[in-house]
Chains A and B, each alone.
Chain A
Amino acid sequence: MTDDLLTDRSPSGGQPAGDLLLDVRDLRVSFPTADAEGGSVTAVDGLSLSLARGRSLGLVGESGSGKSTAAFALLGMHRGTGAEVTGTVRVAGTDVNAASDEELRRLRGNRVAMVFQDPLSALDPFWSVGDQIAEVYRLHTGASRRAARARAVEVLDRVGIPDAARRAGAHPHEFSGGMRQRALIAMALACEPDVLVADEPTTALDVTVQAQILDLLHDLREETGMGLLLVTHDLGVVAGATDEVLVMQGGRAVEHGGTEDVLRAPGRPYTRQLVEAVPRLEARRTPVPVGDDVLLRVEDLHRHYPAPRGSGGERAPGLGRLLGRRPQHRAVDGVTLDVRRGETLGVVGESGSGKTTLGRMMVRLLEPTSGRILLDGRDISRDGERALRPVRRDLQMVFQDPVSSLNPRRSVGDSVAEPLLAGGADAAAARSEVRDLLERVGLPASWYDRYPHEFSGGQRQRVGIARALAVRPRLIVCDEPVSALDVSTQAQVVGLLGDLQREFGLTLVFIAHDLAVVRQVSDRVAVMRQGQVVEWGDADRVYESPQHPYTRRLLAAVPVLDPAEAASRRRARRALLALDRSADGAEPAAVA
C-alpha cells in the first residue's frame, strides 16, 4: 500500500481485513481496443482501497481517470463485457471476481447497491417507481407482493418523497430530477445494503438539490451504518460528504487520506492542481473599468410556451380546451436587465429558471412573446430574419454542449470559417483568419482540418468560442460554457474568456448554474428563478450581502472545500429548509 507512487495518510490503513465492507487489492481493469493487434487500454491500474462499516470514501479524479470503471468493478459489472479484470475485490466478504454468476447476482442490490449519475435514464420509463423498487426487494428477500409494495413506500418515504404512498405509483418522467435521484437511492436502500456505491450522484442536479441529496446520503449512513463510496469529479462534493479521499489519475491512486488533510494540505502536485482549480465563491474578478454605456437592454421581456400536459396551470376554457389549446408556461416572465459595454453580466439560476431562454432571446435566436430588446437603443425584438442580418454579426452565442453544437461531418476549421464565408469573405482569407483564431483560443493552427471527435471537451469548447469570435461580435452570450468540463479545464476556459474579453473589447453575458464560476467571471450578476430576476446587482454586493431569500439559499447550498465549514453549512441548510417547508411546500415538479 505504500509504494512511492501513492501518498497515503489514511487513518484506516492498518485496519484488520475482517471489519472491512470493501477490500480491493491491486485491481486492474483493461478493455480490448478495436484495432486488429489485440491491444488494450488499461482503465484501472493497480488500485487498492478499503472501506469500513459506517465510513465513507470519496473516489476523486478527472474524466478518464478510471474512477467509474473502478466503481463498476465493485459490483462485477464488467463481467461479460470483454473487459479483463484482475486483482481481488471483496465486498461484504464475497470475492466478486471469483464468485459465480448466481452469487454475484445475489450480492448486487442486496449487499452492495449502486446509485447512478443520471436518474432519469437509470430508471425504467415503463414501470412505476414503486414497482421497480418492489421488484428488487422481492427478488432478494422473497417477500410477498404486498410486503414488497409496503417496503417500497417505506423507503420512498425515508428518502423524503412527499406523499410516498401515492407517488409510488408515478412513473419516473413524472418526478423532478431531485426526486428521481431520491427514488434511486430508495431502491438502493430497499434491501439494507452494507455498501452504497454512488457514481456522480449529484452531477446532473441543481446546486440546492445536490445539497439535499448529499445531506440525505450523510444521514442515511449515520442511521444505517452502511459504507459509502462516493465517486465524483467535484472536490467540493467530497469535502462535505466523506471521511476519506482517494485521488485517482490515469487509473492509479495518487493520494489517499482523511478528507480534511488531503484538501487542506494536498501532498501531491496533481491533487493541489485539482484543489486549486475548484471555483470558490470568494474568488472575485479583478474589476474591469466599465462606463455607464449600455450596449443591450431588455425590458419586460416575456417568453411563454404551451405547458406540458398534466402539469396543471390555468386551463383554457370550453372550446379552446377541446381544440387543444394548452395552458401557458412562462419560461421568461417579465425580465428587465441591461448589459454595459465591456462588462460581463452573470446570469445564475437552477434548471428551468429561464436563463437559457433569456440568453437566446438576447441574441434573437428566439423571438420574445412580448417586451423589448434594445441594441444600441434600437428595438430588435420584432425584427424579421432579413432585418436581423446586420445585427447577427454583433450578437454571438457559445453553447453548453460543445459536442452537439459542432457539425460532426465538417472539419472544425470549416465550422469556424462558415460565418466568415457567409459574410462574404473569400476562401483563402477566411482560412488564414480561422488559423489565427484557432491559435488565439489556444489550439494549433494546423488542427484546421481535424474533426470534432478528435478533440477533447475543453478543446471543442475552444472551437465554439473561436466560431463565435470569427465575425468580431460585440456581445457574446455564453450559455453554460464550462458546465460539461472538468474543473481544471473549466478554469482554463474561464481564463481564456477573460483574456479574449480584454483583447477584443467584448461584452459577455455568462449564463451558468454554478455560482462560484459566475462570481469568478462577472462584474454584475442577475439571479433568476421561475422566469424572473429575483436579484440583480454588482457581483460583490449580491454575493456578500444577498437580499433575496432565494439567493441566500443558493449560496448556502454551494459545496465548500473545508469539511468543517461544510458540516456547519449542512446544519444551516437544515434550519433554512425547516423555515421554507412552512412557506414554500415541496420541490416543484419537473418540466419535461
Chain B
Amino acid sequence: MLRFLLRRSVSTVLVLLVLSAVVFTLFYATPGDPAILACGKGCDGDRLAVVRHKLGTDLPLWDQYWHFLRGLVAGRDYDAGADTTHCAAPCFGYSFQYDQPVLGMITARLPVDVSLTLGAMVIWMVVGVGTGLLSALRRGGATERLLTGLTLAGMSTPVFLIGLLLMMAFCSWLGWLPFPQYTPIADDPARWAANLVLPWLSLALISAAAYARMTRSSMLETLAEDHIRTGRAYGLPERRIVAGHALRGALTPVITLLAIDVGGMLGGATLTETVFGFDGLGRLLVNAVNHIDLPVVVGVTLFAAFFIVIANAVADVLYAVADPRVALA
C-alpha cells in the first residue's frame, strides 16, 4: 500500500507537470493578446507594455512557465512599478480579467460541481444499477424490453434537451419547483436540494443509461460463469446465488467506472451548468478560453486533471479491495 501511494503520487505530479506545460505551450502559440483584453479599449503602446509586463506575457515561454511553477510553491507578486498584486502560495496564477487569484475562483465554484456530481451520482446509481440488474434477471421478458428501450432513449437524448424539458414541465407548467438557481447547502439545505433536483435528474439520466447497460452485461456475464453453476449444483437458492455470489463480481467493474466518472464530472459539468445557469468550473473554463485568460485555463485544467488522476487511483484501490485476486501495483 505504501509503495502504491508513493508511485501514484510521483506519477500524479508528473502528469500534472506535463499537462500544465502542454496548456502553456498551446496558449503561447494561440493568436490573440491577453494584455489587450485585460487592458481594455483604447490602450496605447506604453500602457500595453506595462500591462504585458505585469501579466508576465512579455517574457519567453520558459520564463513564464518557471514563474508559474515557482508561484505554486512560493507565491508570486505581479508588479508594475507602484502597483503590486500579491498572490499567496499556492498560487495558481492571477486573473486580471476578474482581478482575483485563480485558486479563489476555483474554490468558490467547486461546491457547485461537487453538489451536482454527488447528487446526480446517487440517482444514476440507484436508477442505472437497479435497471441493469432487473433487466439482467428478467431476461427475455417484457420488463427487459421496456427497460432496454428506456435506457436507449436516455442514452441518446442530449442533456440540454432533457434539462429544458424538465424545466418546462416542473417549473413552468406544474410550478412544483423553482427555476434552478444555486444556493449553498450551508445557507439553506432545503432550498439547496430543491434547486438541484432538476440538474441532478438531467445529469443522472444520461449516465444512468450507460450504467444500466454496463450493469446488465456485467451481470449476465457473471451469471454465465462456472461458479454460479456450482452454486446451483449445490442447492443454493437463486436469491442467494444472485445476492451472495453474482452481485459482487458484476458490480466490481461498475464501481471502477463510477470512480472515474465522478472524477471527470468534478472538474466541471459544462452542459448541465450552462442549461441551468449555474456558475461552475465548466463554465468558468469555457469563458476563460474565450477570453484568453491563461491563468484561469491552466488552473481549472490542472484541477480537473487532478480529480481524474485521483479518481483513477481510488478506482484501483476499490478494485483491489473488491477482488482478492488483484494486487495494487
Q: Which stretch (A115-123, A401-409, A517-525, A552-560) binds chain B? A: A115-123
The answer to whether A125 touches B227, judged by C-beta atoms less than 8 angstroms apart, is yes
11 A-B pairs (CB sep. < 8 Å): A77-B232, A104-B235, A108-B235, A109-B235, A124-B231, A125-B325, A126-B245, A126-B322, A127-B245, A309-B327, A321-B3
Residue on A with the closest CB to B324? A171
| Most chain A CB neighbours (cut-off 10 Å) among B3, B233, B236, B244 | B233
Interface flags for A90-118 (1: CB within 8 Å of B; 0: not) read 00000000000000111111100110101
Residues of chain A within 8 A (CB-CB) of B237 are: 105
Is B249 at the interface (CB under 8 A from chain A)?
yes
Is A330 at the interface (CB under 8 A from chain B)?
no
The answer to whether A322 touches B6, judged by C-beta atoms less than 8 angstroms apart, is yes
> What's the minimum C-beta distance from B100 to chain A, rounded to whole angstroms?
42
B1-19, CB < 8 A from A: 3, 6-7
Residue on B with the closest CB to A131? B244
CA distance A126 to B244 in the complex (A): 10
The answer to whether A75 touches B230, judged by C-beta atoms less than 8 angstroms apart, is no
Interchain CB contact (< 8 A) of A108 among B232, B244, B245, B323: B232
Is B329 at the interface (CB under 8 A from chain A)?
yes
Interchain CB contact (< 8 A) of A121 among B3, B227, B325, B327: B227
The answer to whether B230 touches A116, judged by C-beta atoms less than 8 angstroms apart, is yes
The answer to whether B324 touches A122, judged by C-beta atoms less than 8 angstroms apart, is no
> What's the minimum C-beta distance from B257 to chain A, rounded to whole angstroms?
18
- Given known pairs A126-B248, A322-B6, A324-B7, the reply for A121 and B225 (CB within 8 Å) is yes
Number of interface residues of A (CB under 8 A): 34
CA distance A298 to B23 in the complex (A): 54
- Given known pairs A171-B324, A173-B325, A309-B327, the reply for A123 and B235 (CB within 8 Å) is no
The answer to whether A124 touches B233, judged by C-beta atoms less than 8 angstroms apart, is no
The answer to whether B233 touches A125, judged by C-beta atoms less than 8 angstroms apart, is no
CA distance A590 to B257 in the complex (A): 31
> What's the minimum C-beta distance from A117 to chain B, rounded to whole angstroms?
9
Residues of chain B within 8 A (CB-CB) of A106 are: 235
Interface flags for A357-375 (1: CB within 8 Å of B; 0: not) read 0000000000000000000
Is B47 at the interface (CB under 8 A from chain A)?
no
Question: What 7 pairs between A and B have smallest CB-CB spacing?
Answer: A109-B234, A108-B235, A121-B226, A109-B235, A124-B227, A105-B235, A114-B233
| Most chain B CB neighbours (cut-off 10 Å) among A118, A124, A136, A309 | A124
Residues of chain A within 8 A (CB-CB) of B249 are: 125-126
Interface flags for A302-337 (1: CB within 8 Å of B; 0: not) read 000000011000000000011110000000000000
The answer to whether A322 touches B232, judged by C-beta atoms less than 8 angstroms apart, is no
Is A187 at the interface (CB under 8 A from chain B)?
yes
A122-172, CB < 8 A from B: 122-127, 135-136, 139-140, 171
CA distance A123 to B324 in the complex (A): 13
| Most chain A CB neighbours (cut-off 10 Å) among B230, B231, B244, B245 | B230
CA distance A126 to B245 in the complex (A): 8
Assuming A105-B235, A122-B227, A136-B235, what are 9 further A-B pairs, CB within 8 angstroms?
A105-B236, A108-B232, A108-B233, A116-B226, A121-B225, A122-B226, A126-B322, A139-B235, A322-B3
CA distance A309 to B240 in the complex (A): 33
Residues of chain A within 8 A (CB-CB) of B324 are: 125-126, 171, 173
CA distance A168 to B249 in the complex (A): 21
Interface flags for B183-200 (1: CB within 8 Å of A; 0: not) read 000000000000000000
CA distance A105 to B237 in the complex (A): 7
The answer to whether A136 touches B7, judged by C-beta atoms less than 8 angstroms apart, is no
Residue on B with the closest CB to A128? B324
The answer to whether B226 touches A118, judged by C-beta atoms less than 8 angstroms apart, is yes
Interface flags for B267-298 (1: CB within 8 Å of A; 0: not) read 00000000000000000000000000000000
